[in-house]
Structure 1
Amino acid sequence: MRIVVIGATGHVGGYLIPRLVGAGHEVLAMSRGLRSPYRQDPAWQQVVRITADREAEDAAGTFVGRIADLKADVVVDMVCFTAESARQLVEPLRRSGTTLLSCGSIWVHGPAVEVPVTEDAARHSLGSYGIGKAAIEAVLHDESRNRGLRSVVLHPGHISGPGWPVINPAGNLDLGVWQQLAAGERVTLANFGLETVHHVHADDVAQAFALALDPPPSAIGESFHITSPRALTLRGFAEAAARWFGKEANLEFVPFEQFRQLTAAGHADVSFEHISRSPSMSIAKAAQILGYEPRYTSLQAVAEAVHWLRDAGQLVLTPGAGSH
């Protein structure tokens, strides 16, 4: 297949591009600049690199023409953030019969009524990001179900892996939480630590996109959760992570407003975004229709990321910590 990947050098692209090249596809990797991908691989020498400022070209009405001129069998859109941006792609891709795979987010769901959350559960979207992704999803579903567009939407969880910080047991990106766990120091969690986070390794997200390249009819116009098999409670996450460093977690639980006062403002806001949703998603639909089988549990995905942070010198641990 001839495959265009928009936003190719991001977290998922570092795994997706080698998968596509390894499967024998012709790959055109589009990104805003020519910066190095998060994950180096010889496969990058076999792709065509294309630069594009999508936001500017969307505003000028030229981006869709550039995509159409590439005459792809599949367009993988990793960086669509508005319904209008998605809408611009629809007409030319429908005419050409090109399959559009769009990267959404489990943030289209807000607080759950029942868990694990299924794709057709009642929505209570929160925040501009989740609401925007839900609007994109609605556009693509309408076009696929009523007007013949071949599109599939994949909703990843908290994308994790080596090369960048990942969501920690406090529900934020504060590297100090890992340092405290490694040192056996007290870590403060909001409420009773029973809220949840749901990670997914970037390579498992790449796996899902690769599986959807030639989607069965039952996948067209549908959405799929792409996460690890199970979510983590914050408390269980902290206890497991402390054991990576040969420690027992020393945890303190406080009401969220007190947690906010004890936590840097930016980190507290990120924690609120995560634990107010407490995602716990079902991947049964993706398994049944796409054949999705995640290789990584949540803990395995995060452990790989934390070990990378330590080895890269971004996470300074106490002597002897992090050897487990």
Structure 2
Amino acid sequence: MRVIIIGGTGHIGTYLIPRLVEAGHRVVCVSRQHSIPYRKHPAWKSVEHVTIDRVKAEEAGNFSSQIVALNGDIVIDLICFTAESARKLSEALNGKIKHFLHCGSMWVHGHSEQVPTTENQKRKPFGEYGIDKANIEAYLHSFHQESGFPVTILHPGHIVGPGWLPVNPAGNFNPEVFVRLAKGEVVQIPNLGMETVHHVHADDVAQAFVKSIENRDYAIGESFHVVSEQALTLRGFAEAMAEKFGQVANLQFLPWETWEKTVSSTDKEFTWDHIAHSPCGSISKAKDLLGYQPQYSSLEAVQEAVAFYFDQEGIVI
């Protein structure tokens, strides 16, 4: 089928587009600019590239019509962040496509309560991003129920892979945390380190999109978590990363009020957002209905990304 991917040169698209091409689909990659994907693959030679700046096109009121004009059988939207944007595109595509797939977020759940969190638990999002993603999900499901719009929503956790920094054991993106763990130096962790993070390799996210297309009858009208088999506590994460480097983790646990004064405002903001959510998602539904089977554990996904980062930066431990 002809598959239109909006935002196809980012983290997910880097792995998703080759998977789709190898599965025999004709792929159109829509992006703001014809940028180089994170990972080279010969499949990109057969991809049709269309340049559209979504923000500018939506301001001009012609983004949806441009996507419709591409005549796709399937549309995958990886970069939708408001319910209004989702509404305009889905209404324009309704009756014209066989399947619409939206990339959501585990943030739709807000604080973890009963874990592992399942897809049917009540949404209690907080923060602009989580609230917006939850509103998009609610709209798309409502539109499906009203009109039969063929939508599937996938909710990834912390996406990671070679080429970008993973959430670290302090709950932020500062790579120095990994360097210190590798050297056996002290790493300060907020509270008791029992909050959780839940990573997923970008290729496993790509797998879930392809599985949704292949199992369309089970996927339409549903939301699915897309994460690794298990979440990690900050403490367990730190200890496992140190062990990977032949070290014993040298951890210091500080009350939040003390810990927040030891880091930059950016690191503090990211850490608070991650530990306040403490995601831990169930993938039973995706495994049962889609046949989703993550190839990477959280640790394996992070370790691959960190090894790539160390190599790129010339960091030798």
Question: TM-score per shorter chain, which class?
Answer: over 0.9
* 1:42 Cα deviation from its structure 2 partner: 1.1
Q: Which residue of 1 aligns with 2:290?
A: 290
- Asked whether the equivalents of residues 152 and 223 of structure 2 are also in contact (C-alpha less than 8 Å), the reply is yes
Q: Which residue of 2 aligns with 1:158?
A: 158
Are the structure 2 counterparts of residues 157 and 169 from structure 1 closer, same or farther at C-alpha, using a change threshold of 3 Å?
same
Unpaired runs of 5+ residues, structure 1, are none
Distance of 1:92 and 1:213 partners within structure 2: 21
- Matched to 2:39, the amino acid is R
Distance of 2:218 and 2:243 partners within structure 1: 43
The secondary structure found in structure 2 opposite 1:56 is helix
* 1:214 Cα deviation from its structure 2 partner: 4.1
Distance of 2:44 and 2:282 partners within structure 1: 33
Distance of 1:213 and 1:158 partners within structure 2: 22
Q: Which residue of 2 aligns with 1:44?
A: 44
- Asked whether the equivalents of residues 216 and 289 of structure 1 are also in contact (C-alpha less than 8 Å), the reply is no
Q: Which residue of 2 aligns with 1:174?
A: 174
Q: Which residue of 2 aligns with 1:262?
A: 262
- Matched to 2:298, the amino acid is S
- Asked whether the equivalents of residues 155 and 224 of structure 1 are also in contact (C-alpha less than 8 Å), the reply is yes
- Matched to 1:136, the amino acid is I
* 1:18 Cα deviation from its structure 2 partner: 0.6
Are the structure 2 counterparts of residues 184 and 231 from structure 1 closer, same or farther at C-alpha, using a change threshold of 3 Å?
same
**Residue 83 of structure 2 is aligned to residue 83 of structure 1:** yes
Distance of 1:82 and 1:190 partners within structure 2: 32
Distance of 1:50 and 1:86 partners within structure 2: 20
The secondary structure found in structure 2 opposite 1:223 is strand
Report sequence identity in percent.
Answer: 51
- Asked whether the equivalents of residues 83 and 136 of structure 2 are also in contact (C-alpha less than 8 Å), the reply is yes
- Asked whether the equivalents of residues 93 and 99 of structure 1 are also in contact (C-alpha less than 8 Å), the reply is no
97-106 vs 210-219, which deviates more?
210-219
The secondary structure found in structure 1 opposite 2:11 is coil
Q: Which residue of 2 aligns with 1:301?
A: 301
- Asked whether the equivalents of residues 99 and 220 of structure 2 are also in contact (C-alpha less than 8 Å), the reply is no
Unpaired runs of 5+ residues, structure 2, are none
Runs (4+) of structure 1 exceeding 2 A deviation are 214-219
The secondary structure found in structure 1 opposite 2:3 is strand
Distance of 1:131 and 1:213 partners within structure 2: 27
Distance of 2:126 and 2:258 partners within structure 1: 23
**Residue 13 of structure 2 is aligned to residue 13 of structure 1:** yes
- Asked whether the equivalents of residues 27 and 47 of structure 1 are also in contact (C-alpha less than 8 Å), the reply is yes
- Matched to 2:167, the amino acid is I
- Matched to 2:154, the amino acid is L
Distance of 1:71 and 1:131 partners within structure 2: 31
Distance of 1:104 and 1:211 partners within structure 2: 16
Are the structure 2 counterparts of residues 2 and 91 from structure 1 closer, same or farther at C-alpha, using a change threshold of 3 Å?
same
Distance of 2:154 and 2:49 partners within structure 1: 24
Query: How many equivalent residue pairs?
Result: 317
Q: Which residue of 1 aligns with 2:92?
A: 92
Give CA deviations for 1:249-288 in whole Å, capped at 9, x if unaligned. 0001011121100111101110000001110000001111
Distance of 1:257 and 1:224 partners within structure 2: 36
Give CA deviations for 1:21-52 in whole Å, capped at 9, x if unaligned. 11111000010001111111111110001100
TM-score calculated relative to the size of structure 2:
0.98
80-89 vs 207-216, which deviates more?
207-216
Distance of 1:226 and 1:297 partners within structure 2: 12
